[in-house]
Chain A
Amino acid sequence: MTFSEWAPLLTLGSSLVTGVVIFALPEERRSLRTALNLGGALVKLLLVVAMLWGVFHDREYRFSFELLPGVDFMLRSDSLAMLFVTLSAALWLCTTLYAIGYLEGSPQRSRFFGFFSLCVSSTVGIALAGNLITFVFFYEMLTLSTYPLVVHRGSEKALRAGNLYLAYTLGGGALLLAATVWLYGLLGTVDFTQGGVVETLGHTLSQTHRGVLIAIFFMLIAGFGVKAGLVPLHTWLPIAMVAPAPVSALLHAVAVVKAGAFGIIRVVYDVFGVEFAADLNVLTPLAAVAAFTALYGSLRALAQDELKRRLAFSTVSQVSYIVLGTALFGPLGTIGGAVHLVHQGLMKITLFFCAGNVAETLGLHRVSEMSGVGKRMPWTMSAFTLAAFGMIGLPPTAGFVTKWYLGAGAIAAHMEWALVVLVISSVLNAAYFLPIVYAVWFKPATTQWNEPAVGTRFETDWRLLLPPLVTVLLSLGAGVLAGAEFSPLTWAKLFAVEEYIR
Chain B
Amino acid sequence: MSAIPLLIVLPLILAALCALIRERWATRVAFVGHVGMLAIVAQLLSDVIERGPLRYAVGDWNAPLGIELYADGLSALMIAMTAVIGAGISVYAADYFRHRGNSQSFWPLWWLLWAAMNAAFLAADVFTIYVTLELIGLAAVGLVILARDAVALGAGLRYLLAALLGSLAYLLGVAILYGAHGTLALADLAARIEPHLSTSLALALMSVGLLIKSALFPLHYWLPPAHGSSLTPVSALLSALVVKASFYLLLRLWTDMFGATIALSAAQLIGIFGAAAIVWGSLAALRARRLKMLVAYSTVAQLGYLFLLFPMITATDTSAATQAWQGGVLYALAHGFAKAAMFLAAGAIVHAWGDDNIDHLEGTSARLPLCLFAFALAGMTLMGLPPSGGFIAKWLLLRSAFESAQWWWIIVLLAGGLMTAFYVFRVVRSAFVPASPSRELNSIPLSMQWAALVLALISVALGLTATVPLALLSVGAPFAELPL
Contacts and interface: CB of A to CB of B under 8 A. Distances in A.
Nearest to A159: B429
A148 B418 contact: no
Interface string A95-124: 000000000000110010000000000000
B461 interface: no
Interface string A119-148: 000000000000000001110110110011
Contacts of A154: 365, 432-434
A151 B430 CA distance: 11
Interface string B446-478: 000000000000000001101100100000000
Interface residues of B, number: 37
Contacts of B386: 136-138, 140-141
Interface stretch (B115-123, B177-185, B398-406): B398-406
Nearest to A185: B402
B414 interface: yes
A108 B418 contact: no
A68 B369 contact: no
Q: What's the dominant secondary structure at chain A's contact region? A: helix
A182 B432 contact: no
A181 B484 contact: no
Interface string B428-441: 11001110000000
Interface string B404-436: 000000100011011001000100110011100
Contacts of B399: 181, 184-185
Contacts of B369: 23, 111
Given A137-B386, A154-B432, A174-B418, A67 B464 contact: yes
Contacts of A70: 482, 484
B429 A163 contact: yes
Interface string A216-246: 0000000000000000000000000000000
- From A67, A68, A178, name the one whose CB has the most chain B CB atoms within 10 angstroms: A68
Nearest to B417: A174
Nearest to B398: A181
A345 interface: no
Contacts of A148: 432
B387 A141 contact: yes
Contact of A68 (B387, B432, B467): B467
A166 interface: yes
A68 B466 contact: yes
Nearest to A153: B434
Nearest 7 CB-CB pairings of A with B: A70-B484, A137-B386, A174-B414, A181-B398, A154-B434, A185-B402, A140-B385
19 contacts: A23-B373, A67-B466, A68-B395, A68-B396, A68-B467, A69-B482, A108-B366, A140-B391, A154-B365, A162-B425, A162-B432, A166-B421, A170-B421, A173-B385, A174-B418, A177-B398, A181-B395, A181-B399, A185-B403
Interface of B: 365-366, 369, 373, 380, 383, 385-387, 391-392, 394-396, 398-399, 402-403, 410, 414-415, 417-418, 421, 425, 428-429, 432-434, 463-464, 466-467, 470, 482, 484
Given A147-B428, A163-B425, A182-B402, 5 more contacts: A68-B392, A68-B396, A68-B467, A68-B470, A148-B432
